Amino acid sequence: DTAVSQTPKYLVTQMGNDKSIKCEQNLGHDTMYWYKQDSKKFLKIMFSYNNKELIINETVPNRFSPKSPDKAHLNLHINSLELGDSAVYFCASSLSGSADTQYFGPGTRLTVL
């Protein structure tokens, strides 16, 4: 019974392509996040949504566009992929805000060739 799920788990694509990653949580949480973890294992927040409303938007290229159709889902669409986008992308959720425990999905390993 997966709490936070992401699809796909692996994504290999060519530069310039557009791709999407989907995330769903069944914990009833109000807040969801996207993180990027680079090759040095640094975990950096990209976006955060609370009840479908964008509340944190870090300095991320506008090629990245999150979308939250409802509070259980948070998707990430990436346009015109670049080599530097290669990383592991984690979705996470928390009950009401960042002061609460965050539960992470299994991650999506994106490789841009």
Partner 1 sequence: QKEVEQNSGPLSVPEGAIASLNCTYSDRVSQSFFWYRQYSGKSPELIMSIYSNGDKEDGRFTAQLNKASQYVSLLIRDSQPSDSATYLCAVTDSGGYQKVTFGTGTKLQVIP
Binding site for partner 1 (CB under 8 A): 40-45, 48, 50, 55-56, 90, 97-99, 101-107
Q: Which is nearer to partner 1, 2 or 80 (CB)?
A: 2
Question: Distance between CA atoms of 13 and 111, rounded to whole angstroms?
Answer: 6
What are φ and ψ of residue 105, in 5° steps? -75, 175
Q: Are 75 and 22 in contact (CB under 8 A)?
A: yes
Query: In the complex, what is the shortest distance from the CB of residue 38 to partner 1, in angstroms, rounded to a whole number?
Result: 10
Q: Which is nearer to partner 1, 3 or 15 (CB)?
A: 3
| DSSP code, position 102 | P
Query: In the complex, what is the shortest distance from the CB of residue 34 to partner 1, in angstroms, rounded to a whole number?
Result: 12
Query: In the complex, what is the shortest distance from the CB of residue 105 to partner 1, in angstroms, rounded to a whole number?
Result: 6
- Taking 3-state DSSP, the helix, strand and coil percentages for the chain, each rounded to the nearest 5, stand at 5, 55, 40
Q: Which is nearer to partner 1, 9 or 16 (CB)?
A: 9
